[in-house]
Amino acid sequence: MGFPFKPHPRESTVLSKHFGEAEARTLDGWKVRGGYRALEQALGMDPVAIQNIVKESGLRGRGGAGFPTGLKWSFMKLGDGKPHYLCCNADESEPGTFKDREIMRWTPHALIEGCAIAAHAIGAETAYIYIRGEFTEPLEVMERAVAEARNAGVIGPNAMGSGKRVDVWVHKGAGAYICGEETALMNSLEGKRGNPRIKPPFPAAAGLFGMPTTINNVETLAAVPHILVNGGAWYKNMARADNPKSTGTKLWSVCGNVSRPGNYEVQMGFPFREFLYDLCGGPPRGRTFKAVIPGGSSVPIITIAEAEAAFMDYEGMVAVGTMLGSAGCIVMDDAQSIPRQVARLARFYAHESCAQCTQCREGTAWTTKILERIVAGDGTAEDLDTLLDLADNMTGKTICVLSDSCAAPVVSGLQKFPDEFKALITRKTVHTVPAIVA
Amino acid sequence: MSHGPSAAGGAAISTTPHGHQSEPYVPVFTGETKARLDALMERYPTRMATLLPALWMVQEARGWVSPEAMAEVAGLLGLTAAYVKGVVTFYTMYHQHPVGTHFIQVCTTTPCHVCGAEDVVKAFLQHTGCGELGVTSADGKYTVIEVECLGACGFATPVMVNSDFIESVTPEKVPDVLKRYG
């Protein structure tokens, strides 16, 4: 598991191998660990050849959508005479997710190297790393690493003596969950309110400053140098035997009611049951697991029985009715009230709605009010129907998916744990915590 | 903002949040700070892209972003003061009013909520003497707010005091945390 603890023997540490090593944060320390070999190699390669290696690896976006990275890069029309941009999405704000923070804190040069390689592969000379404003330490570490790499000529007007310009800059956000949405991030970087844009046009056609842009998550970009050095086939082989669609390693952030919370890096397709009990140490003493939100707060809640039967990859999560998302795994034990936690999640989305779309602005606010009323013991039977009706109007009808993300835990919570909601309404009781089993 | 200073800044008379006349506004972007902003502009194809960094520089210098500072930034970047205010009000981290010397943000989103973050909030409100969220303590030292997901969910409850990021805070640890910010 992640710093400050040693990795579990069953982890496959690629990205997290140097977490906790202060020296790995420095340019020299990173080079000693094999750093910037991939960039040197990439700068001498044709951009399409780099795209093809990444395509072969099967790497998919680690921010939540899981879109194939090499394919995304190939949408950038090389030689069109326009400036191209790379954005690195380091606005990690999805509740439950804290993996990108560790990558930036411990291996800043892995991210800079990944950015520089990706920039070259899409014909861009400039990459911006947009880091959320609350990440004060990652911001400091990244700024220092970027300055060090720039002063050493690793990046800049003549990156590694290749004659190619690769600028990498850190841009600090100012507090807004929605800026993790790709087009909202671009608006924010341009100095605007972080309102998501209507698509199309997609970023590859008109993105940052109206120019062709690729946006990738921190973890996605940090994996790229390893793929270049070890080859696409090496990465592709880290997968479930019967599911070649999800490849490589994945960082899972585990939090909530669990014995050993933290970041774990496992190969795609790892059995969820063994993960939860062997690696994460099971529930807190005397408790049992009740529910899991496996991919950050925006994905449907599943019961512990469903989680125990799942495999940890994109398809494995879909098979049990949820999504891998950002792999921010929120675990809840039998002491938790699902309606209460769903209400808290709804409040989060109501707070973070950018308020452009009516369905989201009104829907998140009303969902929160109704859920908080139910939790307070003042709910009515009609409230449950109203919640589902609201959720229906909030799904697939807005510019971005924030509204859908609010609806997902509400609908799945009502489906998976209907008795808890009904008990609050019929018995007007507040949630009682079961006794600890000795 | 209708009676605020011109976008060009200068010796305009500033007002406090209560509307009383006070000291003349002193521009933020002079000397080294102005040079830092100019250097930042080299990184972007538009001046507008330096708006968020410029507002951060204002807050570093003054502790909050006043209407007069918004007008100053607007003048420098070729924007209107109304536009800048629209951006400032969108983001949660820019203070639109002065806050306590130590600004305390306690994460209470679901992962921290299931680990008891509500009790951490209560402990801060009690030990700082703030009593209520968003209210600055009588001695001007502390302001406590709840914040949505700080992105350190495995280390519940994370708390930010000014720019310090403190992990795994429990109600019992609150007095010790506060000792560092006397």
Stretch B18-44: mean pLDDT:
89
State the burial class of residue A81 (Cβ atoms within 10 Å of its Cβ: 0-12, 13-18, 19+): exposed
A169–B43: do the CB atoms touch at under 8 Å? yes
Sort out which chain B residues have CB atoms less than 8 A from A209's CB and list them. Answer: 44-46, 49
Residues across chain B: 182
Q: What is the per-residue pLDDT for B23?
A: 82
Complex prediction ipTM: 0.94
A171–B53: do the CB atoms touch at under 8 Å? yes
Which of A405, A392, A416, A422 has the alpha carbon at shortest distance from A301?
A: A416
Q: Identify residue A360 by its one-letter amino acid code.
A: C
* Coil vs helix vs strand at A55: helix
User: At residue A66, what are phi and psi to the nearest 5 degrees?
Assistant: 70, 30
Q: Which of residues 12-51 of A touch B (CB under 8 A)?
A: none
Single residue among A279, A305, A331 that ends a domain in this structure: A331
Q: Is the pLDDT of residue A435 over 80?
A: no
Q: Which of residues 117-146 of B touch A (CB under 8 A)?
A: none
In a domain, A150, yes or no: yes
Shortest alpha-carbon distance between residue A233 and chain B (Å): 33
* Coil vs helix vs strand at B143: strand
Q: Is the pLDDT of residue A355 over 50?
A: yes
Q: What's A83's domain CATH number?
A: 3.40.50.11540
B111 touches chain A (CB under 8 A): yes
A297 touches chain B (CB under 8 A): yes
In a domain, A4, yes or no: no
Stretch A356-376: mean pLDDT:
97
B148–A173: do the CB atoms touch at under 8 Å? no
Instruction: Name the closest residue on chain A to residue B157, using Cα atoms.
Output: A256
**Number of structural domains found in chain A:** 3
Q: Is the pLDDT of residue B180 over 80?
A: yes
A176–B91: do the CB atoms touch at under 8 Å? yes
Q: Which of residues 60-89 of A touch B (CB under 8 A)?
A: 83
Helix residue spans in A35-107 (DSSP H)? 37-43, 47-57, 69-74, 99-106
B87–A297: do the CB atoms touch at under 8 Å? no
Q: Is the pLDDT of residue A305 over 60?
A: yes
State the burial class of residue A83 (Cβ atoms within 10 Å of its Cβ: 0-12, 13-18, 19+): middle
In a domain, A100, yes or no: yes
B153–A133: do the CB atoms touch at under 8 Å? no
A174–B94: do the CB atoms touch at under 8 Å? yes
Q: Is the pLDDT of residue A222 over 70?
A: yes
Q: Are residues A38 and A183 in the same domain?
A: yes
Q: Are residues A343 and A307 in the same domain?
A: no
Selected for mutation to probe chain A from B52, B105, B159 (highest A CB count within 10 Å) is B52
Q: Which residues of B48-72 are buried (b: 16+ CB within 10 A; e: fewer)?
A: bbbbbbbbbbbbeeeeebbbbbbbb
Percent of chain A with pLDDT over 70: 97
In a domain, A434, yes or no: no
Band of residue A436 on the pLDDT scale cut at 50, 70, 90? confident
Q: What is the per-residue pLDDT for B79?
A: 98
Residue A355 and residue A365: Cα distance in Å, rounded?
10
**Distances in whole angstroms, Cα of residue B138 to Cα of each of A95, B19, B129, B130, B144:** 34, 21, 8, 7, 13
In a domain, A196, yes or no: yes
Q: pLDDT higher for B17 or A138?
A: A138
In a domain, A419, yes or no: yes
Q: Are residues A290 and A254 in the same domain?
A: yes
Q: Are residues A163 and A47 in the same domain?
A: yes
The average confidence (pLDDT) of chain B is 90
Q: Are residues A414 and A326 in the same domain?
A: no
Q: Is the pLDDT of residue A103 over 60?
A: yes
Which of A426, A396, A425, A394 has the alpha carbon at shortest distance from A410?
A: A394
Stretch A319-331: mean pLDDT:
97
B49–A169: do the CB atoms touch at under 8 Å? no
Q: Are residues A317 and A209 in the same domain?
A: no
Shortest alpha-carbon distance between residue A207 and chain B (Å): 14
Stretch A305-334: mean pLDDT:
97
Q: Is the pLDDT of residue B13 over 60?
A: no
A418 touches chain B (CB under 8 A): no
Q: Which residues of A252-269 are buried (b: 16+ CB within 10 A; e: fewer)?
A: bbbbbbbeebbbbbbbbb
Q: Are residues A276 and A343 in the same domain?
A: no
Stretch A251-273: mean pLDDT:
96
Shortest alpha-carbon distance between residue A59 and chain B (Å): 24
In a domain, A354, yes or no: yes
HSE (side-chain half, CA atoms, 13 Å) at B78: 6
Q: Are residues A301 and A188 in the same domain?
A: no
CA A176 remoteness from chain centre: 15
Write down the pTM of the prediction: 0.94
Q: Are residues A357 and A422 in the same domain?
A: yes
Q: Are residues A210 and A253 in the same domain?
A: no
Residues across chain A: 438
Band of residue A1 on the pLDDT scale cut at 50, 70, 90? low
Single residue among A290, A312, A331 that ends a domain in this structure: A331
Kindly report, residue by residue over B69-104, the tens digit of the pLDDT.
Answer: 999 999 999 999 999 999 999 999 999 999 999 999
Q: Is the pLDDT of residue A375 over 50?
A: yes
Q: What's A386's domain CATH number?
A: 1.20.1440.230
Q: Is the pLDDT of residue A42 over 50?
A: yes
User: From the list B90, B111, B113, which residue is nearest A176 (CB)?
Assistant: B90
Kindly report, residue by residue over B110-165, the tens digit of the pLDDT.
Answer: 999 999 999 999 999 999 999 999 999 999 999 999 999 999 999 999 999 999 99
Q: Which residues of A105-137 are buried (b: 16+ CB within 10 A; e: fewer)?
A: bbbbbbbbbbbbbbbbbbbbbbbbbbbbbbbbe
Q: Which of residues 118-177 of A touch B (CB under 8 A)?
A: 126, 132-137, 167, 169, 171-177
Rg (CA), chain B: 19
Please check whether residue B52 is in contact with residue A173, taking contact to mean a CB–CB distance below 8 angstroms.
Answer: yes
Which of A375, A355, A377, A373 has the alpha carbon at shortest distance from A364?
A: A355
Q: Are residues A36 and A158 in the same domain?
A: yes
Q: Are residues A209 and A287 in the same domain?
A: no
The average confidence (pLDDT) of chain A is 96
B64 touches chain A (CB under 8 A): no
**Distances in whole angstroms, Cα of residue A76 to Cα of each of A71, A104, A148, A207, A330:** 10, 26, 29, 11, 36
State the burial class of residue A249 (Cβ atoms within 10 Å of its Cβ: 0-12, 13-18, 19+): buried
B53's enclosing H/E stretch is helix B51-62
Single residue among A311, A331, A351 that ends a domain in this structure: A331
Domain that holds residue A384: 338-427
Q: What's A282's domain CATH number?
A: 3.10.20.600
Q: Do the strands A213-217 and A167-172 form a parallel or antiparallel pair, or are they unpaired? A: unpaired
In a domain, A241, yes or no: no
A174–B110: do the CB atoms touch at under 8 Å? no
Shortest alpha-carbon distance between residue B84 and chain A (Å): 9
CA dihedral (A21, A50, A56, A129) in degrees, to 10, reads 50
Q: Is the pLDDT of residue A288 over 90?
A: yes
Q: Is the pLDDT of residue A124 over 70?
A: yes
A344 touches chain B (CB under 8 A): yes
